[in-house]
Amino acid sequence: MDCDILIIGAGPAGLSAAVYAARAGFKTMMLEKIGAGGQMMLTDKIDNYPGFPEGIAGFDLQNKMLFHAKKFGAKLHYGEAAKIEKTHEGFSIALTDGKIMNASSVIIATGASHRPLGVPGEVEFANKGVSYCGTCDGPFFRGKKTIVVGGGDSALTEALFIAKFAKEVTIVHRRDRFRAVHSLVKQIEMIPIIKTKMNATVEEFCGAESVTGVILKDTVTGEKTNFATDGVFIFTGLIPATNFVPAELLDGQRYIITNEKMGTAIPGLYAAGDARSGAFRQVICAASDGAVAANYAGEWLEAKHGNAYKN
């Protein structure tokens, strides 16, 4: 066995699970595709994580969580899960690089990634005016005209960040009401350079070397107009990173179904955070899920094998 508890994904859910699992004495390993932190790394400021009343940068919170998990002995391995199988002893996880990892118990905390708009020009203009990360790309649009697509918490949070650099930010939303929480709606209303275009969708991206505009469609009248812009930031929701998870564990939107112990239908296999069905997608909730999953993964291991697993 490579470890007692393998945690796939090192965002807030995975990092929190690692803190709890390693601190409880289990040989704990995190498997991470790119870098720890998950979507937190794309967030300029998290201002609703208890204990940080002034807010904390996603990057800083990630650093603290990773340091914390490593302090208790959790290890970080870089790689991407391609398939997970139950074995007699536990679980076998095939990685995309061909490596196989074996673990007695597994917590899936792979989170979710951005949902593309799926309109002409989006792929061609990726990184040439089309972005999915305000924190990463906002500073490139200093003094420029920008559009933010979407009406959820991400769209409004990112619009506030991009407005620190851009000359103008126009939020394009397909309905007449934002999905985002009231406090964010109030904040954007107070920034004069943030405008809104409600009942509108982006139908196409226009430009040559980079984006110079979009075609907007009024969802009420059907009228199409050209709208000049230097950049478009897309925040139209999330797709769970569950491609490697057996289909029978997923709901209709491919999120992992769990019970209150974060257990899936396969004993010893747990899920935590944004990849989980019904999750309230907040950093604090992901961290809570991770703690719960690690606790019950530990209980399950001890019930199955006794205390032999403890370091």
The residues assigned a catalytic role are: 133, 136-137
d(CA 8, CA 2): 13
Pairing of strands 269-271, 100-108: parallel
d(CA 299, CA 279): 23
What does the DSSP assignment read for 162-208? HTTT-SEEEEE-SSSS--S-HHHHHHHHT-TTEEEE-SEEEEEEEES
Q: Report in angstroms how near the CB of residue 89 gets to ligand NAP at its nearest.
A: 37
3-state secondary structure 62-91: HHHHHHHHHHCCCEEEECCEEEEEECCCCE
Nearer to ligand NAP, 58 or 263 (CB): 58
Nearer to ligand NAP, 125 or 235 (CB): 235
Using CB under 6 A as the criterion, which residues of the chain lie in contact with ligand NAP when the complex forms? Answer: 48, 117, 149-155, 157, 174-175, 179, 201, 235-238, 281-282
Nearer to ligand NAP, 74 or 147 (CB): 147
Q: Report in angstroms how near the CB of residue 237 gets to ligand NAP at its nearest.
A: 3
> Measured between alpha carbons, how far is residue 187 from residues 173, 183, 277 in Å?
17, 6, 30
Q: Report in angstroms how near the CB of residue 229 gets to ligand NAP at its nearest.
A: 16
* Residue among 71, 81, 73 nearest 101 (CA): 81
Give residue 103's region: left, alpha or beta (phi > 0; psi -120 to 50): beta
Give residue 250's region: left, alpha or beta (phi > 0; psi -120 to 50): beta
The residue to which tokens 């179904």 are assigned? 257
Measure the N-to-C terminal CA separation of the chain; round to a whole number of Å: 14
Nearer to ligand NAP, 22 or 238 (CB): 238
Nearer to ligand NAP, 27 or 217 (CB): 217
Q: Report in angstroms how near the CB of residue 161 gets to ligand NAP at its nearest.
A: 11
Nearer to ligand NAP, 18 or 238 (CB): 238
Q: Report in angstroms how near the CB of residue 264 gets to ligand NAP at its nearest.
A: 21
Q: How many C-beta neighbours within 10 Å does residue 185 have?
A: 15
Q: Report in angstroms how near the CB of residue 235 gets to ligand NAP at its nearest.
A: 5
Given a contact cutoff of 8 angstroms between Cβ atoms, the answer to whether 290 and 272 are in contact is yes
